[in-house]
Amino acid sequence: MKPTIELWESVGLGLIVEMPSGVLYSNQTGGFSCLHPAIEGVFLPLRNDHSFWELISPERDLWAYFEGPKHGGAGAVLGLDVADADFIDGILTRALLADVIHVDRSRLSESHEAWVRVLLIAEEAGNTKLFRNLGPYPRNAILTWGNSD
């Protein structure tokens, strides 16, 4: 059995890059369905910051969306649709991640709240890269954040 790191105590948005690492990452996902999917890879926190009393993270917008009228906290456990993918890609655009991460639209049925199948398509440009040498690209990954249960 491989070591498992459970992310449900972490705060903010993260990416699990699917690759041989010897470590499984799991998170509590799917709204009040409280699913516990796991995947082998490496974990990378994404665009999380804070002010003195407040988390500043794309997680906040994702959490509000899946708690909102369309999904109502049910976790979208039957899969995401194109409108959900568009919303998530929009958040990635605002977080300046659209050049490196896209929702994998061929795997929407395998995605749900806090466990979204994405493609890592490139390294970030510039001097402040979050990661290096994770290619070859594209690489499968999971976009994950705190479950709204």
Cβ atoms of 24 and 53 within 8 Å: the answer is no
Q: Is 140 among the domain residues?
A: yes
CB 11, CB 134: distance < 8 Å? no
The range of the structural domain enclosing residue 89 comes to: 4-144
pTM of this prediction? Answer: 0.92
Paired tokens of 52 = 């003195």
Structural domain includes residue 149: no
Rounded CA-CA distance 14/116 in Å is 11
Report in angstroms the alpha-carbon separations of 12 from 70, 109, 127, 130: 22, 24, 23, 15
Cα angle for residues 146, 138, 95 (degrees, 5° grid)? 45
Specify the DSSP class assigned to residue 94.
Answer: H
- Per residue in 74-110, pLDDT tens? 889 999 999 999 999 999 999 989 999 999 999 999 9
Q: Is the pLDDT of residue 54 over 90?
A: no
Q: How many domains does the chain have?
A: 1
